Amino acid sequence: MSASHKVSYTIDLNCDLGEGFGAYPSASDAQMMKYITSANIACGFHAGDPSKMREAVQLALAHGVSIGAHPGLPDLIGFGRRELAVTAQEVYDMVVYQIGALSAIVKAEGGKLSHVKPHGALYNMAAEREPLAKAVAEAIYRVDPELILYGLASSHLTLAGELTGLRCAHEVFADRTYEGGGTLTPRHLPGAVIRDSAACARQALRMIQYGEATSREGTPIKLKADTLCIHGDTPEALEHALFLRESFKKHGIKVQSVGETK
């Protein structure tokens, strides 16, 4: 392939932040903001509180990072990663509520909310269960149809968003392994979280450049990659971010928020 026909790639690098609570700080937020292009800020249900939300919003605005709401299940003790028996109506209500809370803070700080990405168990449940996916999509659309829905690549969640009329960003993960159906490996299983930064980068590059990953069972999975997530609550998060940015630079991959690629 000639240089003039060289394929170029662009990826959004997002991170779940603002996940402190009360006396417990959001330890990595200030450093992570230097390397990401989109921040998903906890809205108080699984983590975060009004002050932590404001602080995260201020950091994002200072670094030119796109701001997203990160609504979760009402489960502070379980960090929103345990499934709860919620109805579609309850999911709709809690997503509207949490978007509203963060949107008000963003507006008060002179910014604009760009996207919404469900958190943890809510994210996984909506990715696999059509009624919950529709509830999330409808909640976002009714609040603001211009908001972008971040959801698991090629899942019920992104399909529901697209059918509702939302712009969707298909999300892939650098620091998580996949099951054969394209879902994330449950966190209680060994190897669900990738700790090695070089392995994160290898998986990320393959997903961005070739649209595929390898499942935990060793089978290939086709994935659309609009945005790449690294989890801010993992001890290796900052190391992952640095390694990924260096890898992207080496391979000529442009890092840019989804909201800037309209």
Is 5 strand, coil or helix? helix
Q: Return the DSSP state at 211.
A: S
CA distance 39 to 140: 17
CA 220 to chain centre: 22
Element (H, E) at 29: helix 29-32
Q: Given this model, what pLDDT does residue 2 score? A: 43
CA distance 84 to 214: 30
Query: What is this structure's pTM?
Result: 0.94
CA dist 153 to 35, 48, 134, 181, 184, Å? 23, 26, 16, 11, 11
Provide the residue type at 156 as one letter. Answer: H
Interhelix angle for 156-164 vs 120-128, to 10°? 80
> Closest by alpha carbon to 118, among 72, 73, 167?
72
Three-state secondary structure string covering 57-100: HHHHHHCCCEEEEECCCCCCCCCCCCCCCCCHHHHHHHHHHHHH
Phi, psi at 5, each rounded to 5°: -110, 20
Decide: 63 and 33 in contact? Cβ < 8 Å.
yes
Taking only the tens of pLDDT, the chain with its 262 residues reads 444 456 789 999 999 999 989 888 877 899 999 999 999 999 999 999 999 999 999 999 999 999 999 999 999 999 999 999 999 999 999 999 999 999 999 999 999 999 999 999 999 999 999 999 999 999 999 999 999 999 999 999 999 999 999 999 999 999 999 998 898 999 999 989 999 999 999 999 999 999 999 999 899 999 999 999 998 888 888 999 999 999 999 999 999 999 886 5
Q: Give the domain ranges of the chain.
A: 8-260
Q: Where does residue 46 fall: left (phi above 0), alpha (psi -120 to 50 degrees), or beta otherwise?
A: alpha
Decide: 41 and 102 in contact? Cβ < 8 Å.
yes
Q: Domain 8-260's class?
A: alpha beta
Q: Which residues contact 149 (CB under 8 A, 6 or more apart)?
A: 115, 116, 117, 136, 137, 140, 157, 158, 161, 166, 167, 168, 169
Q: Which residues pair with 116 in a beta bridge?
A: 69, 149
Q: Which residues pair with 255 in a beta bridge?
A: 11
